[in-house]
Amino acid sequence: MKKNDIYEIEITGMTHEALGVGKVDDMAVFVQGAIEGEKVLAKIIKVAKNYAVARVEQWLAVSPGRREPFCPVYKRCGGCSLQHMTYCMQLKFKHRVVTDNLERIGGFRGIHVNPVIGMEDPMNYRNKAQYPVSMGDSGPVAGFYARRSHTIIDSESCGIQHPGSEKVRNVVIDAVRKLKIPVYNEETGEGILRHIVTRVSYATGDIMVILVVTKENVPGLDRLIRRLTDEVPQVKSIVLNINKRRDNVILGDTVKTVYGSDTLVDRLGHLTFHISPLSFYQVNPVQTVVLYEKAVEFAGLTGSETVFDLYCGIGTISLFLAKKAGRVIGVEVVPEAVEAATKNAKVNNIFNAEFFCGAAEEVVPRLYADGMRADVVVVDPPRKGCDEALLETMVKMQPERIVYVSCNPSTLARDLKYLAANGYGVREVQPVDLFPWTEHVECVVLITKL
């Protein structure tokens, strides 16, 4: 087998990145854009020792799960990788990803995973957009990165973003062109505007605009603010985020409000939240309520329990739990998020929740050493999962229940394996689709003491 060879390949499986899998003379071939059950003519684009990568030249048999992508730049943009699948097939694919990870990494044989809870309308669901900015052939452009590159795909619309985010992006980039505000160059480090970030309140329609810049003094900023607020009256907050780093991290640590409020107000279920520019907040408000209500259900609270909510962010899960718990202790590493969580508790008249600032793997062992215990522990870690020191302390604390909220099935499986080896059993796994049209899936898992 060599590059540019063309083979007829039957697709018998799919990778977790949604590549079709077939074989040619016992060599595994990963075929971009192909779906299980299809037969294709595919051109080899890469040959490694034990596998090859190919792209489809012609479909010989098409899966009933295939659909026409709704986005005109789908093949170039790196955002929504599953637009070629029907939504029903996406949910089945994500269910298999979760099950495969639990079996392959976690060692859980024959584990039951509930069907993925999907959306009734999986379009325009995102309340946050992050548009990188660069210089294109005809001037500044803002859009999304192409697959496996930092080339920006310039597109005026996106089927998963809130229309308000797209309006902001279009107004800002047009103003940047006319005001000649220098845009950032990744290679040289020169320029000012790096990203346009929006956060939208689905409850009120209000918008926060975060302009990620390399310095506080932005030429033409006053005129940009006037135009933005005139043309998009839903904009209630404009913030400068200063990021001087020469890496891929989008947001810097310094923020300065230049128009309106310091926070954005949104509602999830019966609760109100003030969201600060640097705070973590789930991007899909409809499915977030589904996820959090499931977490509260799994916690099995009767009103007397002490609950630890680790990686608590601005207190979203904490406050859902506090309505049914005796006491909730939230731990979060971002100081602004802890401030927001404390404020959110007061706004919602919740007085049985308190928040500690610091890394969970450092704070929880300290609280445990001081004699604090949890009846229930809820964890919602980043993609890298829980630090082993945290898992060790959780096991020492011996809570009756652990509720694990995960955005990464592989690190979830790894951490569940540790807990299963230390006296806990996995009782229920519920995937929730927070990210339609992408390969990502969220899970909430009930774990109980054996």
Indicate the angle between helix axes 388-397 and 360-369, nearest 10 degrees.
30
Q: How far apart are CA 384 and CA 410, in angstroms?
A: 9
**DSSP structural state of residue 124:** S
* CA separation for the pair 177, 256 (Å, rounded): 23
**Residue 71 is among the residues annotated as catalytic for this protein:** no
First to last CA, the chain: 52
Paired tokens of 431? 């995937």
Burial class (CB in 10 A: 0-12, 13-18, 19+), 130: middle
Q: Which residues, at least 6 apart from 151, have a Cβ–Cβ distance to it below 8 Å?
A: 145
CA-only gyration radius of the chain, Å = 24
Give the ranges where 159-276 is alpha helix by DSSP (H).
163-179, 221-231
Q: Rounded CA gap, 259 and 197, in Å?
A: 15
Contacts of 307 (CB under 8 A, 6+ apart): 299, 301, 321, 325, 327, 328, 329, 374, 375, 376, 377, 378
80 close to 438: Cβ distance less than 8 angstroms = yes
Catalytic residue among 80, 158, 407, 443: 407
Q: Is 170 exposed, middle or buried (0-12, 13-18, 19+ CB in 10 A)?
A: middle
Q: What is d(CA 404, CA 386) in angstroms, rounded to the nearest whole number?
A: 10
What DSSP assignment string belongs to 405-437? Answer: EES-HHHHHHHHHHHHTTTEEEEEEEEE-SSTT
* Contact (Cβ atoms closer than 8 angstroms) between residue 241 and residue 254: yes
Helix axes 409-420, 388-397, angle to 10 degrees: 40
Q: For residue 260, give both structure tokens.
A: 């309106």
| Cross-strand pairs, 330 | 309, 355
- Cβ 161 vs Cβ 207: under 8 Å: no
Contact 124, 164 (CB under 8 A): no
Closest by CA to 421, choosing from 395, 390, 389, 383, is 395
- Displacement of CA 429 from its chain's centroid (Å): 19
Q: Annotated active-site positions, please?
A: 407
